[in-house]
Structure 1
Amino acid sequence: MRGTRGDPRAHLARRGELLRRTRRPLAPRTERPGGFPLLRRRWTRRARRQPERVAAQHRGHHQQARQRARDDAPPRALRRARAGRRRWAQAFPVRGGPRAEGAGLVSLDTVDSRRLREVALTPEEYRVIVEKLRRPPNAVELGMLGVLWSEHCSYKTSKALLRRLPSTGEAVLQGPGENAGAVEIGSGWAAVFKIESHNHPSAIEPYQGAATGVGGIIRDVIAMGARPIALLDSLRFGPLPGSRHHFDGVVAGIGGYGNCIGIPTVGGEVYFDECYANNPIVNAMCVGLVRLDRLMRARAEGTGNSLMLVGADTGRDGIHGASFASVELDESSSERRPAVQVGNPFLEKCLLEACMDLAQTDAVVAVQDLGAAGLTSSVAECAGRVPGAGARIDVSLVPRRERGMTPYDVMLSESQERMLVVVQRGRESEVERIFSTWDLTSAVIGDVTDDGHLTVFDQTQVVARLPIELLTDGAPPRRLASVAPDPAPSLRLDSLPPLVDPGESLLRLLASPNLCSRRPIIRRYDHMVGDATVVAPGGDAALLRIKGTRLGLAMTTDCNARYCHLDPNLGAQHAVAEAARNIVATGARPLAVTDCLNLANPDRPEVYWELEETIAGLAHACRSLELPIVSGNVSLYNDSAGTSAIHPTPVVGMIGVIDDYSHRLEAGLKHEGDFVLLVGSSLNDLGGSEYLKVEHGTVAGRPPALDLAREAAVNRLILAAAKAGQLRSAHDCADGGMLVALAECCLLGGMGVRCPALRPEAPLRLDAAFFGETPGRFIVSVGSRAMPELQTLARRHHVEISLLGMAGGDTVEFEGQFRLSLDQMRQAWEGGLLH
């Protein structure tokens, strides 16, 4: 009844047979020739279950029918009575389901261009592989090398440029090269954080693409031993309503995954532009906390230690996902839906808690997320971080949810909610008990070796054997041509008509999709779960308290892609500077950066030039502001067959720390009679501004000039004034300029402001004074008693401050120029995303 020895399905019921548990212990599996000792899977109390596809109204989240998985089921649900109906433990093959071509174990002495395109390799790279191996790779090896040599995994185009970024600092505990970066924040705590893209999958399946992007970045933080405490995002779409399908699906996917797993989504940004119509940008950031002595690294140390695969069963979803993310989208991209993974947040929640329990034991050496390139990447990267280390795995021991999967399928599958755990030899049962407590599958699939190779078995047959170094560092770096594109159209301010009605212009700007309220998005995210959020979404940056301390952790994501389109170097500097201002506006000190570089096809010389300039700008700004970049991601080929390329979009994620969160600042005006001040001076510039786009229908000029030394001085002033208790509120001036920032302060605080007429001195134009986006400025409110102290402090920091008006009432008024009620502004502001 139990089947033959060695059958991986021996413990499962056969058709027409009676399932019963054995009363006598099972004999341990013996060591086969050339293999290694493995633990036999234990009998369970009940038959394993597979998830059932349920109607949308019975799901915990919204998902449109056309976005659901096709032939591949989602990772199996928990083996509980409510998880699914009893059925065969391994589903019958789905008719017409996707199969990876070339899965046979045939040496490819000759390989055609179609096969190489399928695995995202060039003929030159294939020749390098043959030279290094001194033989042609077989199909499994070719697939493994293809995914790890893809742009998405190898960074072969950007790696040399990324070395220019600063990554060290006093607080840095872990820089680039691990699952996530880590910095010390005080009181024995470290913050672990990273941002990543999921652009290509989200373009094809918005819901699942966004949801699995969130799941992947969460697992990166978990792998460092940290508990995730917050999620943020940075999103770009084409203009509404044309991009409504992408917009609704992505927002639902982020909310559906984050809400179900119980991690608050506390911040982010959303912008709309024609260049993203076919190539939406979906970047997700996760922040976690870990005690300093519990921080983990994914290093496969200890020859003979076991490799354990935990979490979801393995299916065919996501095969070639990394390769898919390394090419342009075209008309055939929609046919590659199997390359989009399928997520299960409830299973990931159990995986999270099990990994937190693992952190309490010393039986675990390392934990590695299974993300892009699946098992191939996780094993190779984990071993590659230890000089001389290798690994042996047996794909026949990998728990699967589909029949007929080949070694090729297993090694390249990107099924979600899986992790690789390196366990001390002899303590496997201890770790298995932890995962069993959370109803999670765990299986020892191999061990760590010292031969520097990744050897893949299918029972006794070797199906792949590759040097670890060739997999992780063997991709030849790409040196591409770099040519600056034609300069952006110049802007002559004297060619613009004078500003006639600032109030009407303000209403149109507040109603524009790029500046309007994000409430329709925020209300779909649970930002209070965990009871740690003290500054909620909608302001400059989110702020969470560190329980058991007075510390607060601020976090934000920022980028103005229009600036980067006009000048990639200066635009990238602006992204860093604005993120720092947003952190400072909460009263927190900027600490470290994670970045996600989203660009088009670097094979085009002008795009590669944009990549070079973007990285140079990031490096310069971070060095000037003393901010290390401790983690990040590069997403290239965000265009559609060369016809629709995105603007350079270097998204900057930043965290900061405040010693006492009770001293935090928020953007809204709070006290009637407070002085409302503009900190910093304004320049006569409208280049790249939202005002220029909305009111004059053009994108021209250069981004506003940026003085990073001046930025640092203004930031120091705001932090000193906040610590001294002189400020009642603070809000940075960015998109839309001073008047939009002032209106946001009023709308967020529910209080108006009365100002004398604004009469700028020549050469400053009135439209530039109201709507110019000069950096290094804040709108602050101050009580009358603190005003003299703030003026003294500003002189000490050599920063200009000017009085705008007095807080109070229910209107925003500049005497003799315009007067708007808060209701008028709110109606415009809150309707921008609803049409």
Structure 2
Amino acid sequence: MEQAMTPEEIKEQKPYLDWSLTEKEYNYIADQLLGRLPNFTETGLFSAMWSEHCSYKKSKPVLRLFPNKNARVLQGPGEGAGVVDIDDGQAVVFKAESHNHPTTVEPYQGAATGVGGILRDIFSMGARPIASLDSLHFGELDDPQMRMKVADTVKGIGDYGNCMGIPTVAGETTFDPCYQGNILCNAMSVGLMDQKDIQKGKAAGIGNAVMYVGAKTGRDGIHGATFASADFSDENATQRSAVQVGDPFMEKLLMEACLELIHNHADWLVGIQDMGAAGIVSSSAEMASEGKSGMELNLDLVPQRETGMSAYEIMLSESQERMLLCVNKGHEEDVKKIFDKYDLDAVTIGRITEGHDYVLHHDGQEVCHIPVASLTDDVLEEASEEQKPARLQKAQDEPAWQPTIDNPAKTLRQLLQRPTIASDEVLTQQYDTQVRTSTVAGPGSDAGIIRIRGYHKGLAMTTDGNGRFVYLDPEIGGQMAVTEAMTNIIASGAEPLAITDCLNYGDPNDPEIFWELHHSIQGMADACRIFDTPVISGNVSLYNENNGNAIYPTPMVGMVGLIKNLDHVIPSFATHAGDAVYLIGKTGDDYAGSELQKMLNGDLSGTLPALDLQAIHEYCQKLHQQMVAGNVTAAHDISEGGLGVALAEMLFQGETGMQLDLRSLTAAQLFSETAGRLVVTVPADARETFENEMGPDAQYIGQVTNTHWLELHLQNAEMNENLTDLKKLYKEALPCQLKSKD
């Protein structure tokens, strides 16, 4: 058996190279940390804990660029999820995680367990999950296999979330060739809690119990963390053993049991942590490290659903629906009774010990004895080479691409049928968006909105990430990702609070890709500082490529905002004929990376203009004040497809139309994707106040009509389109493409 390899055979045969541990790291562990050769189990533990997915050894130096504190942040990065004060002694808890490689290999289970994992991060903090979001990036739909992967991914997300009884209220879906061999599945969860119930992943107190609770351990997901920390290729395209298998009904029971323990018997509990990436080893070692404690575990006591599992397999399994608790000595049976009520295993598998050693026993033998810090704190951070991609220098030397639009109505009809822009209702209708009956706004709105029961306030939430812009200019593209999330939150009537992220990139050993990572984080950090939206949690997902072809650098931003009074919720669709229509922000000739460029050219090129983040922040703050004052009746962020698409989307849900004077814009500028813009409608009697407060940042462009036509007068063209016809194209495009037999 492979597990029987001796330390000498490991040194000679180097199996750790297949587990993402380098020879330099192995030698450092043996020579500097242990003073001996690690055995098979220990080598496996180091391989998982020192993987990029667990240790962030390559990304940690640049992650420090992010701001992570402000007056509202109660818990920043380092725990299961971030926590933010929302007044009244309450807190919102949120985080996002990637499950890219598992979803590419096994879309249904990969997506489902991605949802399950992020939910556990939320309730491990003591919060009840109240909403889910996603960010999905697929290859092109002319590939039958990709159409199948889209269907299975969405079904996995829907089935898991629906069974858990948690609404999926927002998200994004894009389609680009770069994701053909490595799709992205990012899941975000938002929870609500009383601040007094905040928990930490800590194990401390000599003699206190380490308790395993939840589902039994099997062989699924072994080395999932290292699977996510290596390049993807045809060789591992069917590596299903690294993909976990989910059971949402088990997770529902686990959630209720954990929350009952936390809310009713917090004095029994020292700490709690999800068994996520790297399974038992990550949760136990990280909890011991946080508590500055030693830990001793007997793996024979771990509930197992398969026979003959080795210590290596037990520790590295990523079987789902499991948690690790540190319980005050003497309350083990009390805790067990709670979990017995939910028909869940609750077993004491170890104790907190004096000192700082991490000791494992299996089959009556000691199979691991190493310092806790060697797994969690002594990871070798890796300095990475950086090099500006040659394509960026080349783009600076070429003239900007300018489209010629002779028929803006035809162009609008074509854009509305693009899969990235077209209605994704065929996907989101598979999600339960209203369960728990607290959803104020769901998919199709700029941001999902959840009311907080017992209070007249709510939370707005969104996920946004456009890899095309980051590919063309990582720094400005990173700023644009945060800006779009912020304008979506503002458009809903909310005050932006903070962000979580999933940083999806290719192989960081490529100097150009690490340069993309570094500079996009710098851009995101700059925007977060100006918008006062610190990064409170997140996830890094590197090595997203297939056979050497990397995805676009795709940082996903998940942002949450606070609506202090639900009377101030702003819909994303126009409803009142006679309202004035305003364009917020200036429009430029910004076509690089746009949906228009991709549609007309089939490729991306060009450079991005610098953003005036301070100006965007200031006029968005003024706009929010006007919303609170009751002077805005609808608002919509302008993103893919530009102003033309945004106007059409604002009118699809109602029976209104618009008559607009856009003679300051060319037909091409109707589809420009200048960042930081919104369209808003204002009651006729509030126009004077609105214009005085907004100043030149708001341009009056026309009014809402009761005609159900979109009538535009442009600098060099006219357009008058029946919205019923446009809506039909918009609604039917994606279902037709997904059902194509080609």
Equivalent residues of 2:633, 2:682 under 8 A apart: yes
Q: For 1:646-657, what aligned pairs fall within 5 Å after superposition? A: 646-657=551-562
The aligned runs of 1:753-832 (5 Å cut-off) are 753-756=658-661, 758-760=662-664, 765-768=666-669, 770-795=670-695, 799-815=697-713, 817-832=718-733
- Using the alignment, how far apart are the partners of 2:540 and 2:668 within structure 1? 37
Residues of 1 paired with 2:324 and 2:13: CA distance? 34
Cα pair 1:318 1:340 within 8 Å, conserved: yes
2:95 aligned to which of 194, 209, 216 = 194
1:401 aligns with 2:401: no
What aligned pairs does 1:430-579 form with structure 2 within 5 A after superposition? 430-458=334-362, 460-488=364-392, 489=395, 496=402, 498-579=404-485
Provide the aligned C-alpha RMSD in A.
1.5
Name the CA distance, whole Å, in 2 between partners of 1:804 and 1:115: 68
**Which of 203, 212, 216 lines up with 1:300 in the alignment?**
203
**Partner residue in 2 for 1:684:** 589
CA-CA distance at 1:497 after TM superposition: 5.3
Contact 1:714 1:776 in 2 (8 A): no
Describe the shift of the 1:508–1:558 C-alpha distance in structure 2 as closer, same or farther (beyond 3 A).
same
Deviation of 1:539 after TM superposition, in Å, equals: 1.3
User: For residues 26-425 of structure 1, what are the structure 2 equivalents within 5 Å?
Assistant: 102-104=2-4, 106-108=6-8, 110-112=10-12, 115-131=15-31, 132-242=33-143, 243-359=146-262, 360-361=264-265, 362-387=267-292, 389-425=293-329
Does structure 1 conserve the Cα–Cα contact (< 8 Å) formed by 2:261 and 2:335? Answer: yes
Distance 2:180 2:655 in 1: 35
Q: CA deviation at 1:164?
A: 1.3
Q: Which amino acid aligns with 1:475?
A: V
Residues 677-702 of structure 1, C-alpha deviations (whole Å, 9 max, x = no match)? 21222123322211121134331212
Q: Could you tell me which residue of structure 1 aligns to residue 540 of structure 2?
A: 634
Give, as a single letter, the amino acid of the residue that structure 1 aligns with 2:29.
I
The answer (yes or no) to whether the contact 2:400–2:606 under 8 Å persists in 1 is no
Distance 1:811 1:365, change over 3 A: same
Q: What amino acid maps onto 1:184 in structure 2?
A: D
CA contact (8 A) 1:193 1:286 kept: yes
Aligned to 2:703, what secondary structure does the other structure show?
strand
2:401–2:591 contact (8 Å) kept in structure 1: no
> SS of the counterpart of 1:670?
coil
Instruction: Give, in angstroms, the shift of residue 577 of structure 1.
Output: 0.7
User: 1:113–1:283: structure 2 CA closer, same or farther, 3 Å change rule?
Assistant: farther
Q: Comparing 283-292 with 115-124, which one deviates more in the overlay?
A: 115-124
Residues 398 and 599 from structure 1, CA distance in 2 versus in 1: closer, same or farther, beyond 3 angstroms?
same
Listed as ranges, the gaps of 5+ residues in structure 1 are 1-100
Change (3 A) 1:483 1:689: same
What secondary structure sits across from 1:832 in the alignment? helix
**How big is the shift at 1:494?**
8.1
Letter of the 2:519 partner, please give it.
E
State the AA in 1 paired with 2:323: M
1:590 and 2:496 correspond: yes
CA contact (8 A) 1:570 1:703 kept: yes
| Displacement of 1:521 | 1.2
Any idea what the Cα deviations from partners look like across 1:240-270, whole Å, max 9, x if unmatched? 0311122111101000100001111111000
* 2-structure distance, mates of 1:738, 1:588: 22
3-state SS of paired residue (2:376): helix
Could you list the runs of 5+ residues in structure 2 that have no partner in the other structure?
A: 738-742
CA offsets 1:751-777 (integer angstroms, 9 cap, x no match): 211224x322xxx64312x11111222
Aligned partner of 1:501: which letter?
N
Give the distance between the partners of 1:491 and 1:742, measured in 2 at CA. Answer: 35
- 1: CA distance, partners of 2:397 / 2:246: 47
* Alpha-carbon displacement from aligned partner over 1:542-571 (angstroms, at most 9, x marks no partner): 111111111211110111110000001110
**1:670-709, aligned counterparts within 5 Å?**
670-709=575-614
AA partner of residue 494 (structure 2): A
Equivalent of 1:659, from 564, 567, 579? Answer: 564
Aligned to 1:85: none
1 CA distance for matches of 2:676 and 2:514?
Answer: 30
CA–CA distance in structure 1, aligned partners of residues 400 and 221 of structure 2 = 54
Distance 1:628 1:814 in 2: 40
In structure 1, the residue matched to 2:652 is 747
Q: TM-score, normalised by structure 2?
A: 0.96
In structure 1, the partner of 2:740 is none
Matches of 1:692 and 1:217 in 2, distance apart?
35
The amino acid of 2:232's aligned partner reads L
8 Å contact kept, 1:711–1:776: yes
**Structure 1 residues 318 and 444 mapped into 2: Cα distance closer, same or farther (>3 Å)?**
same
The one-character-per-residue Cα deviations of 1:437-496 (angstroms, maximum 9, x if unpaired) are 111111110011122111001253211111110001222111121111113446978864
AA matched with 1:296: Q
> 1:399 deviation in Å?
0.8
Q: Distance in 2 between matches of 1:651 and 1:222?
A: 22
**SS of residue matched to 2:653:** helix
Q: Deviations over 1:341-381 (max 9, x none)?
A: 00000000000000110111021111110011100111001
- For the 8 Å contact 1:705–1:774, the answer to whether it is kept is no
SS in 1 for 2:498: strand
What's the secondary structure of 1:601's corresponding residue?
Answer: coil
How does the TM-score come out when normalised to structure 1?
A: 0.85
Distance in 1 of aligned mates of 2:698 and 2:685: 19
| Cα pair 2:77 2:537 within 8 Å, conserved | yes
Please state whether the residue corresponding to 1:780 is helix, strand or coil: strand
1:317: how far off?
0.5
Deviation at 1:673, TM superposition (A): 1.6
Alignment match of 1:721 (pick from 595, 611, 626): 626
Following the alignment from structure 2 to structure 1, what is the Cα–Cα distance between the partners of residues 251 and 389?
A: 45
Alignment of 1:731-746 (within 5 A): 731-746=636-651
| Alignment deviations for residues 649-674 of structure 1 (CA, whole Å, 9 cap, x no partner) | 00001001011112100111111121
SS in 2 for 1:786: helix
Which structure's CA Rg is the greater one?
A: 1
Q: Percent identity?
A: 44
Give, in whole Å, the separation in 2 of the partners of 1:494 and 1:424: 65
Amino acid at match of 1:679: I
From the superposition, tell whether residues 482 and 495 of structure 1 become closer, same or farther in structure 2 (CA, over 3 Å).
Answer: closer
Deviates more, 1:186-195 or 1:814-823: 814-823
